[in-house]
Amino acid sequence: MSEGTVRLAPCLNARPAPGRDRRSARTCAVFTRSADAGGAARQSGHPPTYICPTVGSVTSNLRTTSSALAGERAELLSALADQRELLLITVRGINDAQAIQRTVVSELTLGGIIKHLSRGERVWTQILVEGDGEMPEGMLDLGQYRMTEDDTLAGLLEEYDEAARGTEKAVSELRDLEGTVPLPLTPWSPPEREYWSARRILLHLIRETAQHAGHADIIRETLDGASTTAQR
What are the residues whose beta carbons fall under 8 Å from the beta carbon of 71, sequence distance 6 or more? none
The continuous run of DSSP H or E covering 59 comes out as strand 56-59
pLDDT at 197: 97
pLDDT tens digits, one per residue of 42-52? 333 333 333 33
Per-residue pLDDT, 227: 86
Spell out the SS3 assignment of 102-116: CCCCCCCCHHHHHHH
- Say which residue, 117 or 228, is predicted with more confidence: 117
**Is the predicted pLDDT of residue 125 greater than 90, yes or no?**
yes
Alpha-carbon torsion 120, 9, 80, 107, what sign? positive
> What is the reported pLDDT for 129?
95
Of 183, 218, 173, nearest to 204 by C-alpha is 183
Structure confidence at residue 68 (pLDDT): 58
Work out the average pLDDT over 104-116: 94
Domains in the chain: boundaries: 7-62, 65-231
pTM score over 0.85: no
**Alpha helices (H) in the chain, listed in sequence order:** 71-89, 96-99, 110-130, 153-172, 198-224, 228-231
* pLDDT more than 70, % of the chain: 70
**What is the Cα–Cα distance from 123 to 136, expressed in whole angstroms?**
6
Residue 9: predicted pLDDT? 40
Question: For 213, how many CA atoms within 13 A lie in the half-sphere containing its CB?
Answer: 18
Q: Of 225, 199, 227, which Cα lies nearest the Cα of 214?
A: 227
Query: Within 13 A of 83's CA, how many CA atoms are on the CB side?
Result: 22
- pLDDT band (50, 70, 90) for residue 59: very low
| Topology classification of domain 65-231 | Four Helix Bundle (Hemerythrin (Met), subunit A) (1.20.120)
Dihedral (Cα; 212, 5, 70, 16), 10-degree rounding: 70
Summarised one tens digit per residue, pLDDT across range 6-30 is 334 444 333 333 343 433 333 333 3
Give the integer Cα–Cα distance in Å for 47 and 62: 10
Mean pLDDT across the chain: 77
pLDDT (0 to 100) of residue 33 = 36
Euclidean distance between CA atoms 159 and 104, whole angstroms = 25
